[in-house]
Amino acid sequence: MTTVLIADDQPLQRLGFRMLLESQDDMTVLGEANNGAEATRMTAELQPDVVLMDVRMPGLDGIEATRRIIASGARTRVLILTTFDLDEYAYSGLRAGASGFLVKDAQPEDLLSGIRAVATGDAVVAPSLTRRLLDAYVHHLPTAASAAAQTPDPRLDSLTDREREILTVIGKGWTNTEIATRLHLAESTVKTHVGRVLAKTGSRDRIQAVILAYDTKLVK
Amino acid sequence: MTTVLIADDQPLQRLGFRMLLESQDDMTVLGEANNGAEATRMTAELQPDVVLMDVRMPGLDGIEATRRIIASGARTRVLILTTFDLDEYAYSGLRAGASGFLVKDAQPEDLLSGIRAVATGDAVVAPSLTRRLLDAYVHHLPTAASAAAQTPDPRLDSLTDREREILTVIGKGWTNTEIATRLHLAESTVKTHVGRVLAKTGSRDRIQAVILAYDTKLVK
DNA sequence: GCCACGGTAGTACCGGGGTACTACCCCGCT
DNA sequence: AGCGGGGTAGTACCCCGGTACTACCGTGGC
């Protein structure tokens, strides 16, 4: 169950969000705040999984409230919602520690899946903004070569690409049957791959392989 | 009407996408390509709005095909779809000029809204990757995730000291018999402890527990 | 043309992991 | 004294993980 706090200064807007969220059987609205100060206080008290945060609010605005919530060390994730997808709002909001930035005219399903994503630690950005973020930052992305060089661990050298993939999903905790179904393989094939990965990496079982995957930063 | 080309080497996967897309009255599948070379050729010929591009394909892979399509100057947008949200794939795909990067186990609605977004010139990135992109390039302030990691993880709250100790050595990869001998316990006792740890933390097996131990910084 | 290698797939077998109980002891609390 | 929680220990059972093979097919190198 995902618990949500709604922070918006417009009562009608809050009502809309509450109706949408309460219609989902995996979400609960813990409360509503009508300004940033109240949002900060209620978050500390109610410890929701996610705060739906409006940017424009009287007194303490959503950006500053986000900053304070994150600074408090709470495990609550902040998803910023605004009418305007202005870059200034987005950049400062994300820099403040928000896990996401969506525009209010998004489809309800997009909002819901966004809430679920940030609740599990992922992040979401409105497509219109993603475009601009990519344009601005794509040139700073590491190349495939440097990404490969990022794992110079000799323990992984002998693995083929496929085996490295297998090791990655082992590290994610997938079972053999899960790997088989999700990768469209027979379980026997998965076992063959896994066996080779274990042999090549000197791991006695998949648990050692999970640890190896973490040590080599293949996962997380 | 949004026109789409599906590029994937798995016929069954293509069929699934086609079924999903054709069920929408604002989308049409112009064709299917089963490798990168074919995708490049068919894009030039059919000029679709969007290419759903798989990464792993025999011969010319999805990344290189994306690079060639973008380089050709076509107005076609490329949305990369892959089973793995590996950073290497994503970075190189986005650098190649893709308008989006989604994982195949996403919800169908998310895929559809993603297609609509890139068709209109916006961009989409899978939430799991967005998290890492934000962490790496948008802000250098503590994130919600790292802030949460500083405080004791609530998932471990219900554990007793002994159980937390057990979880730690599970995270180190010790087997039940190793735990028993090194901690001077009977193996049955170890199994009891392990069982309780798994139940309390909601882990289906010790592998999930290992991952949890790493996530909560209980080990390393 | 042939061979090596990577990826896929199959069968058969065994042991450890995990579950579902029950049970006993020690300690602190009321 | 009675009670509850934490730690310890046992038995019985089933399933998944891992091993040890064998085998087929493409692709690329020689």
Strand C proximal to B208 Cβ, under 7 A: no
Residue A12 has what pLDDT?
77
* Together in a domain, A130 and A157: no
Residue A86 has what pLDDT?
62
CATH code of A116's domain: 3.40.50.2300
> Is B117's Cβ below 8 Å from some Cβ in A?
yes
Domain count of chain B?
2
Residue A155 has what pLDDT?
66
**Six-digit token string for A60:** 């303490």
C1' (D7) to CA (A130) span, angstroms:
53
Query: Taking a C-beta distance cutoff of 8 angstroms, is the pair B13, B105 a contact?
Result: no
Nearest to B137 by CA among A122, A90, A140: A140
The whole domain housing A198 covers: 144-215
List all nucleotides in chain D with at least one atom under 7 A from a protein Cβ: 6-12, 16-23, 27-28
C1' (C24) to CA (B165) span, angstroms:
23
Which chain B residue's Cα is nearest to A121?
B145
Q: Which residues contact B105 (CB under 8 A, 6 or more apart)?
A: A182, B83
Q: How many CB pairs under 8 A join A and B?
A: 158
Q: Is residue A8 included in any domain, yes or no?
A: yes
* Together in a domain, B177 and B127: no
Nearest to B115 by CA among B13, B17, B12: B17
Give the Cβ contact number of residue A90 at 10 Å: 27
> Is B157's Cβ below 8 Å from some Cβ in A?
no
List all nucleotides in chain C with at least one atom under 7 A from a protein Cβ: 6-12, 16-23
Q: What angle do CA B72, B137, B105 make, to 5 degrees?
A: 65
A18-47 as b/e: b if 16+ CB within 10 A: bebbeeeeebebbbbbbbbbbbbebbeeee
**Six-digit token string for A20:** 């949408």
- Please judge whether A70 and B94 are an interchain contact, meaning their C-beta atoms are less than 8 angstroms apart: no
* Together in a domain, B58 and B95: yes
Q: Is residue B55 included in any domain, yes or no?
A: yes
- The count of C-alpha atoms lying within 13 angstroms of the C-alpha of B72, restricted to the half-sphere facing its C-beta, is 19
* Helices within chain A (DSSP H only): 11-22, 36-46, 62-71, 87-95, 108-119, 127-137, 144-149, 161-171, 176-182, 187-201, 206-215
Q: Is residue B142 included in any domain, yes or no?
A: no
Strand C proximal to A28 Cβ, under 7 A: no
* Positions in chain A whose pLDDT score sits under 50: 140-151
Residues of B in contact with A99 (CB under 8 A): 131, 143-144
Q: Is residue B175 included in any domain, yes or no?
A: yes
Strand D proximal to B175 Cβ, under 7 A: no
Residue A146 has what pLDDT?
37
Q: Is residue A97 included in any domain, yes or no?
A: yes
Strand D proximal to B188 Cβ, under 7 A: yes
Strand C proximal to B25 Cβ, under 7 A: no
Per-residue pLDDT of chain B (220 residues; tens, 9 = 90+): 999 999 988 777 888 889 999 999 999 999 999 888 889 889 988 889 999 998 878 778 888 888 888 877 778 899 998 876 565 677 778 877 888 888 887 888 889 999 999 988 888 888 877 777 766 554 433 333 333 333 466 667 778 888 888 998 999 889 898 888 888 888 889 999 999 899 888 888 889 899 989 888 888 7
Residue B149 has what pLDDT?
38
C1' (D8) to CA (A219) span, angstroms:
37
pLDDT tens by residue, A34-51: 899 899 999 988 889 999
Distance from CA of B192 to the nearest CA of A (A): 20
* DSSP letter assigned to residue B137: I
Helix axes A206-215, A161-171, angle to 10 degrees: 100
Q: Please tell me the distance from the alpha carbon of residue A72 to that of residue A43, in angstroms, as a whole number.
A: 10
- Please judge whether A71 and B207 are an interchain contact, meaning their C-beta atoms are less than 8 angstroms apart: no
Residues of B in contact with A159 (CB under 8 A): none
- Please judge whether B88 and A148 are an interchain contact, meaning their C-beta atoms are less than 8 angstroms apart: yes
Q: Looking at B79, B105, B137, which one is the last position of a domain?
A: B137
* Together in a domain, A152 and A195: yes
Q: Is residue A220 included in any domain, yes or no?
A: no
Strand C proximal to B192 Cβ, under 7 A: yes
Residues of A in contact with B10 (CB under 8 A): 184
C1' (D28) to CA (A4) span, angstroms:
56
Q: Please tell me the distance from the alpha carbon of residue B56 to that of residue B88, in angstroms, as a whole number.
A: 13
Q: Is residue A112 included in any domain, yes or no?
A: yes
Q: Which residues contact A9 (CB under 8 A, 6 or more apart)?
A: A34, A35, A54, A56, A57, A58
Residues of B in contact with A124 (CB under 8 A): 127, 130
> Is A31's Cβ below 8 Å from some Cβ in B?
no
CATH code of A184's domain: 1.10.10.10
* Together in a domain, B192 and B94: no
Q: Please tell me the distance from the alpha carbon of residue B118 to that of residue B50, in angstroms, as a whole number.
A: 7
Strand D proximal to B159 Cβ, under 7 A: no
Residue A149 has what pLDDT?
39
* Together in a domain, B16 and B88: yes
Q: Which residues contact B81 (CB under 8 A, 6 or more apart)?
A: B8, B52, B53, B54, B55, B102, B103, B104, B111
Strand C proximal to B177 Cβ, under 7 A: yes
Positive or negative, the Cα torsion across B120, B123, B127, B128?
positive
The gap from C-alpha A71 to its chain's centroid, in whole angstroms, comes to 19
Q: Which residues contact B150 (CB under 8 A, 6 or more apart)?
A: A73
Return the CA Rg of chain B.
23
User: Beta strands of B16-88 (E only): which ranges?
Assistant: 27-33, 50-54, 77-82
* Together in a domain, B39 and B113: yes
Query: Taking a C-beta distance cutoff of 8 angstroms, is the pair B209, B198 a contact?
Result: yes
* Together in a domain, A158 and A133: no
* Together in a domain, B167 and B100: no
Interface of A with B in 53-72 (CB under 8 A): 70-71
